[in-house]
Amino acid sequence: MTDYPVEMDTTPDVEGFFDEATNTISYIVKDPGSKHCAIIDSVMDIDYAAGRISYDHADALIARIRERGLMLDWIIETHVHADHLSAAPYIQDKLGGKIGIGARITLVQQTFGKVFNEGTEFERDGSQFDALFEDGDTYEIGGMAAFAMHTPGHTPACMTHVIGDATFVGDTLFMPDGGSARADFPGGDAGELYDSIQKVLALPDEMRLFMCHDYGPNGRDIAWETTVGDEKAHNIHVGGGKTREEFIAMREARDTTLKMPTLIIPSLQVNMRAGEVPTDKDGNPMMKVPVNGL
């Protein structure tokens, strides 16, 4: 395993913002030693039936950053989400900051560029983003060091971001009673997901873990923060020393029972473009529905 530069002595201030429509949690992560911050996994609102997008969730993040007088260094996407649309360009327009995602975004762009029959004007080189992270790449939020860990399996480009004693797992893990994310999207792989989860669980036991999603299983209140130690002991899919074979069998059986996320079609088209809505030949915002293409 790569020797990652873990720094448990740095404790960033983390604020979570739950989006009820998509069960996504967006985060503002602030350097304790300065006014600099990052946003992780923002959400753009969509009324898909009406083809209408709006920005209530993103506006709440922007208002909070302004209210606290913070400077936004980074707008991070843990992966190309299939269940919500990113508001990264909208936020960047208002507050600045660099949009970053995993370097394997190029694979995701190749796959879905075909599915949506995009023309050559859709670049498949990740150039829509300001930064493409490789495994172990480091970056800074003010004076605070952060790094990205490649954690594929849910999608090929998934990255986990480790910022001091706070780790943002994206869709690698859910809360202990939620288990793990599906691995059946194009480019997903249950065995790879197991290996990626082991990378997260190899972080120190007291590392704080922040989820990208929570569905409040069995009627419990929505929650998004746990620790490596807690996941290792109690995660229903990988805790208590479940083997790779057990995990793959469970994950693949379960994935065959899951429906496609409601917003997968608009989400992919927007998120593979770093949050920009595609346009038609006249420059009007327009999306496609590939019939029997997913």
* Chain center to CA of 243: 26
Least distance CB 121 / Fe ion (angstroms): 26
Query: For residue 139, what are the contacts with CB-CB under 8 A and spacing of at least 6?
Result: 74, 100, 131, 133, 145, 146, 147, 148
Judged by beta carbon, residue 144 or residue 274, the one nearer Fe ion is: 274
Nearer Cβ to Fe ion (144/265): 265
How big is the CA angle at 80 (ends 50 and 119), to the nearest 5 degrees? 75
Q: Quick one: 172 or 227, whose CB is closer to Fe ion?
A: 172
Q: What's the closest the beta carbon of residue 80 comes to Fe ion, in angstroms?
A: 8
The residue among 36 and 81 lying less far from Fe ion, judged by its C-beta, is 81
Phi then psi dihedrals of residue 225, to 5 deg: -120, 135
Beta-sheet pairing, 208-210 with 166-168? parallel
The gap from C-alpha 216 to its chain's centroid, in whole angstroms, comes to 19
H-type alpha helices, the chain = 56-67, 88-95, 105-115, 190-201, 228-234, 244-255, 264-271
Provide Rg for the chain, Cα atoms: 18
Kindly list the residues in this chain that would bind Fe ion in the complex (CB under 5 A): 81, 171
Q: Min. distance of Cβ 166 from Fe ion in angstroms? A: 20
Q: Which residue is nearest to Fe ion (CB)?
A: 171
Nearer to Fe ion, 45 or 83 (CB): 83
For residue 145, the minimal CB distance to Fe ion (Å) is 26
Question: Taking the complex as a whole, how short is the minimal distance between the CB of residue 212 and Fe ion, in angstroms?
Answer: 7
